[in-house]
Amino acid sequence: MIKNVNIKRNKDGIHHVKAKDLIDLVWGLGYCHAVDRSLQILLMRILGKGQASQYLSSDESMLQTDIFFRKMNWQGGLQEEVNKLSVEEKSLCQSYCDGVNFRLSKKFPWELRLLGYTPDKWEIKDSIMLSRMTGYLTLAQSQAEMERFLLQMIQAGISREKLWELFPKGLENLDIDLLQKVQFEERIVPDGIWKTIVPPMVGSNNWVVSGSKTQSGKPFLANDPHLETNRLPNVWYEVLLESSDNYIMGGSMPGLPGVLIGRNANLSWGATYSFMDAVDSWVEDCQDGKYRKEGEWHSFAERKELIHRKKKPDSEVVFYENEHGTLEGDPHNKGYYLTTSWASSRAGAKSISQMLKMYKARSVEEGMEFLGQIETAWNWVLADKAGNIGYQMSGLCPIRKEGASGLLPLPGWLAENDWQGFANYQDLPRCLNPKQGYFATANQDLNEWGKVQPINLPMGDYRAKRISHLLAEKDNHSLEDMKKIQYDVFSKQGEQFMETIKPLLDENNPASRALLEWDLCYDLDSKAAFLFEKIYQNLHKEVFAKGGLSEAAFDYLWEQTGIFIDFYQNFDSILLKNSSLWFQEREQNEIYRKAIQEALKEPLQKWGESNQLLLQNLIFGGKLPKFFGFDRGPIPLRGGRATPHQGQIYQSSGRTTSFTPSYRFVTDVAESEIHSNMAGGPSDRRFSPWYCSDLDNWRNQYYKKIGIDKG
C-alpha cells in the first residue's frame, strides 16, 4: 500500500500526500497524523477512555478527571456506531487507521515509553470517540456549566426578578421551590464560597464573501477558530492531500479522517461553534435506588467502572442511568437529583461519514447537505467556484415540549418533558447566497435564520457586528483585507461602554486622558485598553457581587471560571441599563464612578504587558527549565474578549486557558491555494524543526501559502 502513496513535506513542514485514490489518501493522512501528532492522539484516547490514572498519574485530580470521562461514557455504543457506516465508509476509516498503525508499529512517542505505555492499535471506534470529545469539551460543556451556574444562583436565593433580567429568555418554566430542593454534584462555585445574602440577592470567527464584493470576482472564505491556544502542540494539523482529479487541503484534527476547515478543487468550508443548546437536565425524584415516572417507580441501570491507578488500589465508581442520562448522586438516598444528557453523546458515525463526503463535495448546496447532518453543533460557511456562498448550522437539536427552552431542569417524572426527537437539519439556521453578499458568524445568536431556535445562550454579538461592518463597507475586498479583519482589535463592546464612561472621566487626570483618547483598539501598546478592562471588572464586582452573588462567589467566578468570558453579553445587558434590580437602588452613574475611581488607583500598563500567553507542552508544560524549549513564551497577546481577534486569557478548573485564534485560514476559491498560520507547528516532537515553526508567522501577521504546484 505504501508504494501507492507519495508523502513529502513542503518548505513549511506541511505534509503533501499524493495518491491515485481516496482510500490511499486517507491512509496517508493517518500516517502523517501518527508521524507528527502521535502523542496528541494517543493522549486523547487515554483521556477519553478514562485511563489517565493508569498511565499518566495517580493523584486525586487525575482520578477526578477519569471519573468525569467515565461518567460521560464516551466509549458507550461505539461498535453500534461503527456498524452504521457503509461498506465504503468503513473501508476509508480502516485505511486511515492502517496508516496510523503502520507508523505506530515502527515508532511511537518516547514520552509514553517513559510512562510505561505501549499503545494498542488505532481503531475506527477511537476516531468516533474523538469526534464526540471534540464536540463537547469546552464547547457544549460551556452551556452545561452556565445552566449549573443558573441553578446555583437559584439555590443561593437570587430573586426571580433578577434572574429574569439576566436571562430574559428561557425561564418560562422556572419552578424555584422545586429547584431549591435539588441536590447536585457538578457545582461551578464550590459550596463553601456561597453565603446567605440578606436581602437575597462559563469562540470563533468565520465568514464568506460573495464574488460581487471581491477583487477576483470569486468568493472568499476566512476562518479563525478561537480555541485554547496556550498548549503545544496546536489542536489543528494542516495537510494537503492530492489525487489525480482532486485535492483537499486545510486544517484536520489528529485522530479524525477528514479535513474540518479547508477546501477542495471546487468548494471551501469553515467552522465555528454554534452555541446550540444540546445539553439538558431533568429533576429526578429518587428513593430506594429507583426514580419516579408517571406515577410508577423504575430501577436505574447501573454501570460500574473500574479505574486502575498507578501504584495505588483500583477505584470503582458506579453510575446510575435512565432515559434522561446519568444521575448526579446516589438514588438509594431519598431526594431530588439531576440527570443530564448531551444530544450527541452516543453519536459519531454520521459525523465521520459526512466529513468523508467533503473530499468530493462540489457545490455549496451539496456541502450544506453534507455538513448539516454532522451530529455536533457547528456554524459552517461555504463558498464554491460557481460563485455561490452559504451558511449551515449542524448538530442534534433536541425537540422539547412547547415553551421549554432547555435552560432549566424540568421534572423528570413527567413524560411530556422528555425529548421528542431531534430537529431536521434543514430546519436549523441556514441560508444560500444572502442578499448582502456576505455571511459572518462569531458565536452570536443566529436563530433568525432557522425554522427552529437552537440557541438560548449565545456569545455576544460585538465581534459579528464588527466583522459585518468591515465586510459591508467596500465592494472590492482583497485577501489582504480578510487577513486584516482576522487581526482586527477594535472593540464594539468598548465603544458601547465608553458612551457611559466618557462623561464621568476627569480630563485633568493623565490616566483618564488616555481613556478619553482611546481608539477602542486592544493593541499591544494600548494603556487605555488595560484601564478599560479594570473598569469593566470593577463594574461586574460593583453590580453582581454587591447585587447578590457575594464577593467571594464573584471572585471565584471571575478568577477561576469562564462564566463571564463565554456569556458576557448577558451580564453586559445589565451593566448597560440605566436602572436595574441588580444595582441595589443605586444610580448607574454612581456605580460607574466607583468602578472608575478604583481602576485609576492602579498603575497603568500596556495591554501587551498585562495580557501574555505562555504556550506549554502537553506533557511537560511548566515542569522543565525554559531552556529545554518544551514551552514557548510568554507572548504578548493583542485583542480582548469582544474583538474579532480575541485575546482572552483566564483560569478554568485551576488551570490557565485562553480564547484566541488557534488557526487562521483564508482562501480565494478562484485559486488553488490557502493562506494560513497557527500558534505552533506541524509536529508535537520537541526536537523536530517543525515543533513551533509557524509561531512567529502567527504572532507577526504573516500567512504562509499551501497550494497545488501548477507547474
Residues 6+ apart with CB under 8 A from 157: 196, 197, 200, 201, 548
Q: Do residues 228 and 275 lie in contact, with contact meaning Cβ atoms separated by under 8 Å?
A: no
User: Pairing relation of β-strands 632-636 and 612-617?
Assistant: antiparallel
DSSP state of 521: B
| Domain identity same for 51 and 96 | yes
Q: What is the pLDDT at residue 156? A: 85
Range of the domain at 86: 2-134
For residue 234, being part of any structural domain is answered with no
| Domain identity same for 84 and 173 | no
Give the pLDDT band (50/70/90) at residue 188. Answer: very low
Q: What is the pLDDT at residue 432? A: 97
For residue 600, being part of any structural domain is answered with yes
Burial of 687 (0-12, 13-18, 19+ CB in 10 A): exposed
Domain count, the chain: 3
Q: In the listed set 106, 134, 162, which residue is the last one of a domain according to the structure?
A: 134
Question: In terms of Cα–Cα distance, which of 183, 181, 190, 179 is closest to 150?
Answer: 179
Q: In the listed set 565, 592, 609, which residue is the last one of a domain according to the structure?
A: 609
Residue written as cell 472564505?
221
Grid cell digits, residue 350:
454520521
Grid cell digits, residue 263:
477546501
CATH number (domain holding residue 498):
1.10.1400
3-class state of residue 528 by DSSP: helix
For residue 366, being part of any structural domain is answered with no
Q: What is the pLDDT at residue 655? A: 67
Q: What is the pLDDT at residue 197? A: 29
For residues 39-44, average pLDDT: 93
Question: In terms of Cα–Cα distance, which of 264, 352, 273, 306 is closest to 667?
Answer: 264
Q: What's the Cα-to-Cα distance from 659 to each of 566, 567, 609, 649, rounded to whole Å? A: 10, 13, 18, 6
Q: What is the pLDDT at residue 111? A: 87
| Domain identity same for 43 and 130 | yes
Asked if the model's pLDDT at residue 187 lies above 60, the reply is no
The C-alpha atoms of residue 678 and residue 563 are separated, in whole angstroms, by: 26
Q: What is the pLDDT at residue 297? A: 97
Give the pLDDT band (50/70/90) at residue 656. Answer: confident
The length of the chain is 711
Asked if the model's pLDDT at residue 506 lies above 80, the reply is yes
pLDDT in tens, 624-647: 888 889 899 899 999 999 999 998
For residues 28-54, average pLDDT: 94
Q: Mean pLDDT score of the chain, rounded to an integer?
A: 91
pTM over 0.75: yes
| Domain identity same for 81 and 102 | yes
Grid cell digits, residue 659:
480564547
The C-alpha atoms of residue 540 and residue 354 are separated, in whole angstroms, by: 43
For residue 440, being part of any structural domain is answered with no
3-class state of residue 9 by DSSP: strand
Instruction: Tell me how many degrees the CA angle 156-137-383 measures, rounded to the nearest 5.
Output: 125
| Domain identity same for 503 and 557 | yes
Q: What is the pLDDT at residue 190? A: 42
Residue 454 burial (CB count, 10 A): 23
Give the pLDDT band (50/70/90) at residue 553. Answer: confident
The C-alpha atoms of residue 552 and residue 151 are separated, in whole angstroms, by: 18
Residues 6+ apart with CB under 8 A from 155: 179, 180, 182
CATH number (domain holding residue 309):
2.30.120.10
For residues 531-556, average pLDDT: 90
| Domain identity same for 129 and 149 | no
Question: In terms of Cα–Cα distance, which of 258, 419, 253 is closest to 344?
Answer: 419
Residue 413 burial (CB count, 10 A): 17
When mean pLDDT is compared across 6-10, 53-57, 201-205, 663-667, the lowest value belongs to 201-205
Q: Convert 75-85 to b/e letters by CB count within 10 Å (16 or more is b).
A: bebbeebbeeb
For residue 263, being part of any structural domain is answered with no
pLDDT in tens, 241-300: 999 889 999 999 999 999 999 999 999 999 998 989 999 999 999 999 999 999 999 999
For residue 154, being part of any structural domain is answered with yes
Output 369 or 656, whichever has higher pLDDT.
369
3-class state of residue 626 by DSSP: helix
The C-alpha atoms of residue 538 and residue 532 are separated, in whole angstroms, by: 10
Grid cell digits, residue 210:
460573495
pLDDT in tens, 85-105: 999 999 999 999 999 999 999
Largest CA distance in the chain: 77
Q: What is the pLDDT at residue 490? A: 98
Alpha helical stretches, state H, 487-623: 492-501, 510-516, 527-540, 551-560, 563-566, 568-575, 588-600, 607-610
Q: In the listed set 134, 158, 174, which residue is the last one of a domain according to the structure?
A: 134
